[in-house]
Amino acid sequence: MFYREAGQYKSTYAADMAVFPLRQDRIGIAVILAIAFIGIPMIGNDFFIATVMIPFLVFSLAAIGLNILTGYTGLISLGTAAFMGVGAYACYKLTTFFPGVNIIVLILISGLFSAAIGVLFGLPSLRIKGFYLAVATLAAQFFLQWAFVRVPWLFNYNASGAIEVPLRSLFGIPITGASASAETRYFVCLGLVVVLTWFASNLVHGRLGRSWMAVRDMDIAAELMGIKLLNAKLLAFAVSSFYAGVAGAMMIFLWYGGGEAADVFNIRLSFNILFMVIIGGLGSLIGSFFGAAFIASLPTILKFGLPALGVPLSGAAAEHVTFMLVGALIIIFLIVEPHGLARLWQITKQKLRTWPFPY
Amino acid sequence: MKQTGLMKGAALGALLAAGAAIAPVAAQDSVYFANNAYRTGPFSGSGIPIGDGMRDYIAMINERDGGVNGVKVIYEECETGYDTKKSIECYEQAKSKNTIVYSPWSTGATLAAIPRAHIDKIPILSMAYGLSASAEGSTFPWVFIPPFTYWDGASVMVKHMANELGGMDKLKGKKLGLIHLDAPFGKEPIPVLENLAKKYGFELKLYPVAAADMQNQGSLWLSIRRDRPDYLYNQGWGAMNPTAVKEAIKNGFPINKLVGVWWAGGDDDARAGGAEAKGYKSLNFNAAGTNFPVIQDIIKHVVDKGKSLAPKEKVGENLYNRGVYNSMLVVEAIRNAQKLTGKKVVNAEDMRRGLEGLNITEARLKEIGMEGFGTPSTISCSDHSGHSKMYVAEWDGTKWTKGSDWIEPLKDEVRPLIEAAAKDYAEKNAGWPKRTESCEKSS
Amino acid sequence: MSEVATRPAPNLLSNGWIKTGLILIGVVLAAIVGAQLDSSGTLHKVLIDPFQQMVSAPDLLVQTVWEGLVSGVLYALIALGFVLIFKASGVFNFAQGIMVVFAALTLVGLHEKGVPAFLAVILTLGVMFLLALTIERVVLRPLVNQPDIILFMATFGITYFLIGFGEAVFGGNPKQMITSELYLPKGAIDAKILGGFVSFQKIDIAAAIIASIMIAALAVFFQYTRIGRALRAVADSHKAALSVGISLNQIWVIVWFTAGIVALITGIMWGARSDVSFALEIVALKALPVLILGGFTSIPGAIVGGLIIGIGEKLGEFYWGPLIGGGIESWLAYFIALGFLLFRPQGLFGDKIIERI
């Protein structure tokens, strides 16, 4: 009843191929955007925005990137964190060389560097598949992380090997550096995430996305149908790394605000982003958001939320409980719904469609 | 569906609670002190005794004296697991709960917190860790790094080497190896050592240990065997230290030439080497053992009442006592802030004044039952570290003993470097705020 | 006859081994020529100097190879746990690393509580059995027939759970392995050979021997026992095994328990070399390149792969690492594995991947 698409006729091809052909979807998106742009800054305090919302947005973008590679093209990567790092360091070098260029532009450009590196490490994917490829991407993870520490040029020969985030502003409002307020950084993140998600949505629904899915479902068959594997796989690596790179640059410039960067992009982060994609739902953009909320925000909420609910837990014990709870929840979710949170969302939509008279 | 509904409800509840958790603590006669701790993760071996020491001293002050001049100190730990991401969350929490001082307990966390703290006006107390350059008070009015910096430590290492060899001129042609964690913390001493190597003509060899290879140092020690350095300085932390001690013994490196930074001086670090670890050294600025009135008070008022997290036999260990020293600095700074402002319940800005005017003399240490327990330290407006003296501790097979006299760091060498580095930092962080806070006299 | 004659020559190149050989010869030739032409000395440092060092200080070479061998054995032990489970249940068990830590922690933790050393070993084995049983009941059984990646993901869940559980029960601080209580040898044999000295740690020798015994025992177990035969049948085909009346659930418990035993032994050995702490979990990641090198399904592959990776990374780090700043050990293993993989995508000993449309 709430979600009935019957009776919505399309009279042009363009309308039929729209990303959101349904009125309900369009309304839903508008509501979500309204909450994100108006609701959260109004009700959330600084702590909530800085430690829950900004990380959530950054990880969502990274998860979308990995989802393009793993969910849509079927190539597993455990090097996402390293590609994020490439973005962060590229952005740092760029803003050192071109301090006058707007930082948002630089964040986007740094994604291109990450894409180039991604393509380079994506080359083995033409020959290696499955878990073998996953472990091969670990080479990228460890090599790049080593380079972040050992190539002093990358961090401008800083004695402690740390990145410093300078003050950069847009229309006179500081958006990076310590004096940027949490709200400003949140709006910049949100803007980038919304635009890039819209772009990704168009990409995966278009020709390229279809060819990726064909490769995922069976690459030999896709090849026989005339899809060039080389192009499709490397493009997937490029686009995926681009998203990861932008997310990485956002992570350092809009969230962390400088400091020890090399250690941030460690193997754990790569795994976490893979969790987000799998828990959220392979091959689903909305799933990437669910996954990021689950994996990135849940531990934070548990850590700071449980004591507030009156559960008496010391710091260390809370950490242990959080670990156990997250582990157990991962298993429970996989058992209850192996297709991820996105599938739960679909089921919900189905229920809404038939409510109140389910059949 | 019912289940998922429940889950969503629970998640929403937790979410709201997380927001509510952050309501500032505003009890009448108390101040809130947020301390980062890492009782979990690969570095917890070092983190647990420190956290216990810090917690117990504050508990003792609250228990014995009813707080600092009647103001209770609410001590709260935020678990970081030595992870920078979590430490940023902890910073945000500490900020929203109006902490009077932020204690990051990791160099990575300090680096991330420094720019924020200067905007949010929260003093950072990074006791003998963190960014060495932050000892320059006119650039970093909100960061305090007593009693000295890593750079002072490195200079004392060179001095110690010279003392054993018989003079600074004997350093020429010698080889000093630096084993360091490949992270900002580990890299800190490199600039000073490079400078001193040039000046005194000894050779510096670097042996970086990646965090992932902390317990896998085999090939590194082979390189040490090949290079045959005369001395080794170990800037290590966590599981890296016991492994280094074990490997040194295994590879036949003379253990008394291996000197750890003060963070490599945990009892568990040395104990890993067994009987052969006798002679292992580490720089230090606090004494180990329970033979001090302050530790006795802690045992009496906290440990014996079962209010401590530490088992009794661990009380008085080196890192435990260092935690006590750190809490002492906090308490003394509160006291000083109360004196300077005339208020009882101080806030973060008063605390900054209290820290800047901190003067821990020998006499004061004696008054608080810490005679010979730790190094005296004086902070001033421009000098936020004090460049205090330290000593070389020696492991006698079962406990840490004082292996040398107090040694002054090479302040004349270190200070210009610190000033240059601070200037560089302010330049690179374009838009770094100019110091507007007025100077505090030492008192 | 004429067909053979007209067969195009490049067919020779399609053989991976010949191609590898040719490339290697090419590299060596290029290296020799390059070294002759090289004036700046960079090539000399990369291509000649390390070998000169090997010749001039053979004791260090022997020591390096020995170190590599020992860490190779330990990597192989971790990899072995992966392979056992992958063969029998098709699960890529990421939790093997944490199982190593968990087993060692349980052992040391029990001993700290006053349990005699050997009783503690038996109790730990009991705990590992319970763990295997629980994993089978709670994780594997409900997830039967799910895609590989879901099962892989589930083992991440197990990892997280075990990290939290282990730290909550035993505490996160590093602990000493109870080597002497288990009658493991201490100290070293210093051999004065080749103009220097080479030191062999007794514990390392013991590790190598114990690992060999265990592998032999596993081989016998697989080859000659009823359960072993059942395990091999399951590895070949789940459906066929089910149809002849083998209980998959039972087999899974056995396999996970076996992996638990391997984890305990690995934990004791690693723990004796450094100490028992959660940092070991990171070392366990090194088993991944070993696995791709050896193939996910081959026990000999895990061992040979472990040795190649162990020796390769130690030699690389020791002789070539200083040229680019050191610390290359963290990624060299993956590049070695990647290099092999480009020629044999299924690993050295893995089953050939046959794709049908």
What are the distances in angstroms from CA B368 to CA B328, B346, C220, C238, C354? 9, 21, 69, 73, 77
**Both tokens of residue A60?**
């969502």
Closest CA to A129 of C342, C187, C96: C342
* B377-378 vs B391-395, strand pairing mode: unpaired
Q: Under a CB-based contact definition with an 8 Å cutoff, are residues A305 and C190 in contact? A: no
Quote the minimal CA–CA distance from C287 to chain B in Å.
13
Per-residue model confidence (pLDDT) at position C5: 42
Please, what CATH class does the domain formed by A22-354 belong to? mainly alpha
Average pLDDT score over residue span B77-92: 86
Q: Is C147 close to A338, i.e. CB distance below 8 A?
A: yes
What are the distances in angstroms from CA C347 to CA B222, C291, C295? 30, 8, 4
Quote the minimal CA–CA distance from A147 to chain C in Å.
10
Partner-chain residue, chosen from C274, C317, C321, that has the shortest CB–CB distance to B246: C274
Per-residue model confidence (pLDDT) at position B24: 45
pLDDT in tens, A262-289: 788 888 889 889 888 888 888 889 999 9
What are the distances in angstroms from CA B253 to CA B129, B256, C153? 28, 9, 45
**pLDDT surpasses 80 at B26:** no
B-proximal residues of A, 69-128, CB under 8 Å: 99
**pLDDT surpasses 80 at A302:** no
What is the enclosing helix (H) or strand (E) of B10?
helix B2-20
Average pLDDT score over residue span A12-23: 76
**pLDDT surpasses 80 at C39:** no
Query: Cβ of B16: how many Cβ atoms within 10 Å?
Result: 15
Candidates A121, A157, A319, A334, partner chain C, best to mutate (most C CBs within 10 A): A334
Closest CA to B76 of B30, B37, B28: B37
Candidates C78, C278, C288, partner chain B, best to mutate (most B CBs within 10 A): C278
Longest dimension (CA), chain B: 79
Partner-chain residue, chosen from C172, C283, C329, that has the shortest CB–CB distance to B215: C283
Closest CA to C263 of C181, C158, C333: C158
Candidates A263, A279, A297, A323, partner chain B, best to mutate (most B CBs within 10 A): A263
* A168-170 vs B281-284, strand pairing mode: unpaired
Chain A residue at shortest CA distance from B150: A160
**pLDDT surpasses 70 at B278:** yes
What are the distances in angstroms from CA C49 to CA B46, C55, C323? 41, 10, 11
B190 at A interface, C-beta within 8 A: yes
In this complex, the chains that touch B, judged by 3 or more CB pairs closer than 8 A, are A, C
Domains of chain B and CATH, by start = 26-148+289-387 (3.40.50.2300), 150-284+392-410 (3.40.50.2300)
In one-letter notation, the amino acid at residue B135 is: A
The b/e string for A10-47 (b: 16+ C-beta within 10 A; e otherwise) is eeeeeeeeeeeeeebeeeeeeeeeeebeeebbeebebb
pLDDT in tens, C264-301: 998 888 888 777 777 777 777 788 888 888 887 788 88
What 3 state SS string does chain A have? CCCCCCCCCCCCHHHHCCCCCCHHHHHHHHHHHHHHHHHHHHHCCHHHHHHHHHHHHHHHHHHHHHHHHHHHCCCCCCCHHHHHHHHHHHHHHHHHHCCCCCHHHHHHHHHHHHHHHHHHHHHHHHCCCHHHHHHHHHHHHHHHHHHHHHCHHHHCCCCCCCECCCCEEECCEEEECCCCCHHHHHHHHHHHHHHHHHHHHHHHHCHHHHHHHHHHHCHHHHHHCCCCHHHHHHHHHHHHHHHHHHHHHHHHHHHHCCECCCCCCCHHHHHHHHHHHHHHCCCCHHHHHHHHHHHHHHHHHHHHHHHHCCCCCCHHHHHHHHHHHHHHHHHHHHHHCCCCHHHHHHHHHHHHHHCCCCC
| ipTM of this predicted structure | 0.84
A-proximal residues of B, 78-97, CB under 8 Å: 78-79, 81, 84-85, 88-89, 92-93, 95-96
Q: Is B78 close to A315, i.e. CB distance below 8 A?
A: yes
**Both tokens of residue C98?**
């944490």
C352 vs A186, more confident:
A186
Longest dimension (CA), chain A: 68
Partner-chain residue, chosen from B17, B22, B112, that has the shortest CB–CB distance to A258: B112
Which residues, 6 or more positions from B176, have their beta carbon under 8 angstroms from its beta carbon? B157, B158, B161, B193, B197, B202, B203, B204, B205, B229, B230, B231, B232, B233
Quote the minimal CA–CA distance from C302 to chain A in Å.
14
Phi, psi of B440 (to 5 degrees): -110, 135
Which residues, 6 or more positions from C177, have their beta carbon under 8 angstroms from its beta carbon? C104, C108, C268, C271, C272, C275, C276
Dihedral (Cα; B116, B118, B120, B121), 10-degree rounding: 150
pLDDT in tens, A87-142: 999 999 998 898 888 889 999 999 999 999 999 988 888 877 777 787 778 889 98
Partner-chain residue, chosen from B48, B222, B268, that has the shortest CB–CB distance to C67: B222
In total, chain B counts a number of residues equal to: 443
Quote the minimal CA–CA distance from A338 to chain C in Å.
7
**pLDDT surpasses 70 at B370:** yes
Average pLDDT score over residue span B67-93: 87
Rounded Cα distance between A268 and C304, Å, is 28
Could you state, in order of their start, the residue ranges of all structural domains in chain C?
61-343
Tell me, rounded to whole angstroms, the distance of Cα A164 from its chain centroid. 24
Residues C296, C302, C303: CA angle, nearest 5 degrees:
170
Residue-wise DSSP of C198-212: EEEEHHHHHHHHHHH
**pLDDT surpasses 60 at B16:** no
In total, chain A counts a number of residues equal to: 359
Q: Is A150 close to C292, i.e. CB distance below 8 A?
A: no
C136 at B interface, C-beta within 8 A: no
Task: Identify all chain C residues contacting A320, using CB atoms and an 8 Å cutoff.
Answer: 164-165, 167-168
Per-residue model confidence (pLDDT) at position B276: 86
**pLDDT surpasses 80 at A64:** yes
Model confidence at C3, in pLDDT bands (50, 70, 90)?
A: very low
pLDDT in tens, B104-138: 888 888 888 888 888 889 999 999 888 888 888 88
Longest dimension (CA), chain C: 82
Model confidence at A337, in pLDDT bands (50, 70, 90)?
A: confident
Closest CA to A145 of A136, A158, A154: A154
Chain A residue at shortest CA distance from C138: A331
Could you state, in order of their start, the residue ranges of all structural domains in chain A?
22-354
* B281-284 vs B359-360, strand pairing mode: unpaired
Quote the minimal CA–CA distance from A181 to chain C in Å.
34
Task: Identify all chain B residues contacting C270, using CB atoms and an 8 Å cutoff.
Answer: 215
Which residues, 6 or more positions from A235, have their beta carbon under 8 angstroms from its beta carbon? A208, A212
Model confidence at B9, in pLDDT bands (50, 70, 90)?
A: very low
* Interface size between A and C, measured as CB pairs under 8 A: 137
**pLDDT surpasses 70 at B441:** no
Rounded Cα distance between A309 and B352, Å, is 33
Q: Under a CB-based contact definition with an 8 Å cutoff, are residues A24 and A3 in contact? A: yes
Closest CA to B217 of C273, A125, A260: C273
Half-sphere exposure of C118 toward its Cβ, with a 13 Å CA cutoff?
A: 3
Indicate the SS3 state at residue B124: strand
Instruction: Please state the pTM of the whole predicted model.
Output: 0.87
Indicate the SS3 state at residue B177: strand
Rounded Cα distance between B40 and B37, Å, is 9
C327 at B interface, C-beta within 8 A: yes
Task: Identify all chain A residues contacting B95, using CB atoms and an 8 Å cutoff.
Answer: 46-47
Task: Identify all chain A residues contacting B425, using CB atoms and an 8 Å cutoff.
Answer: 164
Per-residue model confidence (pLDDT) at position A117: 93
- The dihedral built from the CA positions of residue C161, C166, C168 and C173, taken in this order, carries a sign that is negative
C15 vs C216, more confident:
C216
Place of tokens 């740092």: A92
Per-residue model confidence (pLDDT) at position C1: 40
Task: Identify all chain C residues contacting A139, using CB atoms and an 8 Å cutoff.
Answer: 331, 334-335, 337-338
Quote the minimal CA–CA distance from A189 to chain C in Å.
29
Per-residue model confidence (pLDDT) at position A1: 62
Q: Is C168 close to A334, i.e. CB distance below 8 A?
A: no
Per-residue model confidence (pLDDT) at position B60: 93
Q: Is B19 close to A48, i.e. CB distance below 8 A?
A: yes
Query: Cβ of C137: how many Cβ atoms within 10 Å?
Result: 13
Partner-chain residue, chosen from A129, A130, A328, that has the shortest CB–CB distance to C161: A328
**Both tokens of residue B426?**
């302010």
pLDDT in tens, B209-262: 887 778 778 888 888 888 889 999 999 887 788 889 988 988 888 999 999 999
B51 at C interface, C-beta within 8 A: no
C184 at B interface, C-beta within 8 A: no
Model confidence at C122, in pLDDT bands (50, 70, 90)?
A: very high
Partner-chain residue, chosen from A142, A255, A319, that has the shortest CB–CB distance to B81: A319
Average pLDDT score over residue span B6-22: 45
**Both tokens of residue C334?**
């993956």
**Both tokens of residue A281?**
């739902």
Per-residue model confidence (pLDDT) at position A58: 94
Model confidence at C38, in pLDDT bands (50, 70, 90)?
A: low
DSSP designation for B383: B
Q: What's the order of all strands across the beta sheet hosting B143-144?
A: B72-79, B30-37, B102-103, B124-125, B143-144
B41 at C interface, C-beta within 8 A: yes
Place of tokens 């001086």: B265
Task: Identify all chain B residues contacting C63, using CB atoms and an 8 Å cutoff.
Answer: 222, 225
C320 vs B99, more confident:
B99
pLDDT in tens, C260-272: 999 999 888 888 8
**pLDDT surpasses 80 at A159:** no
Q: Is B14 close to A303, i.e. CB distance below 8 A?
A: no
C65: left (phi over 0), alpha (psi -120 to 50) or beta: alpha
Per-residue model confidence (pLDDT) at position B328: 92
Q: Which CATH number fits domain C61-343: 3.40.50, 1.10.3470, 1.10.101, 2.40.50?
A: 1.10.3470
Q: Is B239 close to C174, i.e. CB distance below 8 A?
A: yes
Q: Is A303 close to B79, i.e. CB distance below 8 A?
A: yes
In this complex, the chains that touch C, judged by 3 or more CB pairs closer than 8 A, are A, B
A306 at B interface, C-beta within 8 A: yes
Per-residue model confidence (pLDDT) at position C41: 64
Which stretch of A333-337, C22-26, C79-83, C94-98 has the lowest confidence by average pLDDT? C22-26
Query: Cβ of A312: how many Cβ atoms within 10 Å?
Result: 8
Q: Under a CB-based contact definition with an 8 Å cutoff, are residues B219 and C314 in contact? A: yes
Task: Identify all chain B residues contacting C327, using CB atoms and an 8 Å cutoff.
Answer: 182, 208-210, 213
B311 at C interface, C-beta within 8 A: no
* Interface size between A and B, measured as CB pairs under 8 A: 163
Mean pLDDT for all residues in chain B = 85
Task: Identify all chain B residues contacting C60, using CB atoms and an 8 Å cutoff.
Answer: 222, 225-226
Phi, psi of B260 (to 5 degrees): -95, 155
**pLDDT surpasses 80 at A3:** no
Partner-chain residue, chosen from B1, B77, B89, that has the shortest CB–CB distance to A51: B89
